[in-house]
Amino acid sequence: MAYHLRPMNPSPRKPLPATAGIPSLSEPWGRTFVRRAGVGLMLAAAVVLLGWQFDVVALRTVLPGANSMKPVAALAFMLAGLALLNRRSVVPVPGLCRLVSAVVGMIGVTSLLADASDLSLPSDYWYPDPEALAIGRIAGRMSELTAIGFALLGLLGVLPDRSPWWRVQQVVALLVLAIAMFALASFGFQGGLRSERSDVTPVAIHTALLFLLAGLGWLASLPPKGLMRVVHAPSLGGLVARRLLLPALLLPSLLGLFARVAGDWLAWTQATVVSALALLSAGALAGLIWWVALLLDRLERERANVVALRDESHTDALTGLPNRRAFDGAIAGLVQGRRHADRSFALLMLDLDRFKDYNDTYGHLAGDEVLRQTAQLLSSALRPGDVPARYGGEEFAVLLPDTEAAEAVRVAERIVQYFRVWSWPGRAVTVSIGTAAAGREEAADALVGRADAALYAAKAAGRDRVMKAAAPLK
């Protein structure tokens, strides 16, 4: 292996991972979101049921004159929220999630069968429902689209929690989200008002919103695999997904709602509405891009701070070389590689000869300059992958990966020769070096001890020379 002079470069550092400075949020995020989704479903359903019980229209609807969430739908959402809480052990009752999910699914399926067979259900008569009668629908009966959503939510809870069923659960949860998005967009463009019904089966806006919450809650509760792998990941991609997926899902519905408000309430012409939608779409896209850019900028600045702090804590301020802490980390990694992958490496321990006398003669500033030039000399004489470090005081250490004992001696002798011909301030400076090749099962402190013993043998033999350590004990 050839060694040659090269310009001084910063000592090699182990690169930080791309996610440095990014907090790991996946598991806590998933648990927290599922818990909040379950509580939100139950609270919203309870409010709707109170609205039916006490005949408070404002609690049954979101907008005046809009569709009401039916009491049976509110009950199904309450059970769906309970299933999510049990899934995350907030309500630790074994088997509860599967049981209440089966009830939710039966509510949806029973409603669909009753619609197909023109049958009545007991829930149709729980409370008076003049709004449904006014538009020719069965009192208290949820829409077909709502019933399909509950059938899918029930299916999510009864499927086994093991591979490959989690893939089916992801697809079913996405179908629930699709129902929610379709209903929200339909409400936006058609208004959801009694005077102008949607071309599709009507779904109350808060029903659509709770389907959205339930679908997202189930996705967050599934294993971090497949589609959810990136969302749960503690990486930049996972962080972006968690921040932007929900706004992206809501954007079409918000644009649709704007179109209906502009057309009906502001009396804009169709051409004006279309132009405004185009402008808003471009603005929304630009806003999302800007949000991502701000997020990336903040993360990059945080990562730069982490890098700076790491460099500062692992770098010797005087010489710019890795310090003792960095050396300890590097040698520990090489020892592991020696044990598990049989990768050879060697250690050089260097000590400047009679450095105290030099300091006493020329002053500490001149001594500091010698230490800086020693760092430059070592960086010039070694390969990019070698690790020179300031071990302490006038003592230095060099780690030589993929290097055997004989080659380590040749490298040490080359360094000694460099010291002899270097242009030092004041007078010549020489170095003594001890070399040791790592044994297969040798610990780091044992290797350092052997190299240190060889260094002191070089000192005792007259300095300005290289001594090879004895072989490690078997």
User: Which residues carry out catalysis?
Assistant: 394
- CB contact set of 16 (below 8 Å; sequence gap of 6+): 303, 306, 307, 310
| Joined tokens for residue 372 | 């800086």
DSSP class of residue 40 equals H
Strand partners, 431: 352
Reduce the DSSP state of residue 119 to 3 states and report it: coil
- CB burial readout 414-435, b (16+ within 10 A) else e: ebbebbeebebeeeebebbbbb
Strands 345-352 and 387-392: unpaired
Q: How far is CA 268 from the centre of its chain?
A: 45
Say which residue the tokens 């850019």 belong to: 293
What is the Cα–Cα distance from 58 to 73, expressed in whole angstroms?
17
What is the Cα–Cα distance from 218 to 278, expressed in whole angstroms?
33
Read off the amino acid at residue 185: A
Q: Where are the alpha helices (DSSP H) in 17-143?
A: 26-53, 57-60, 71-87, 96-117, 130-134
Reduce the DSSP state of residue 325 to 3 states and report it: helix
What is the Cα–Cα distance from 137 to 121, expressed in whole angstroms?
14
Express the helix, strand and coil content of the chain in percent, nearest 5 each: 60, 10, 30
For every residue of 327-347, DSSP letters joined together read: HHHHHHHHHHHHHHH---EEE
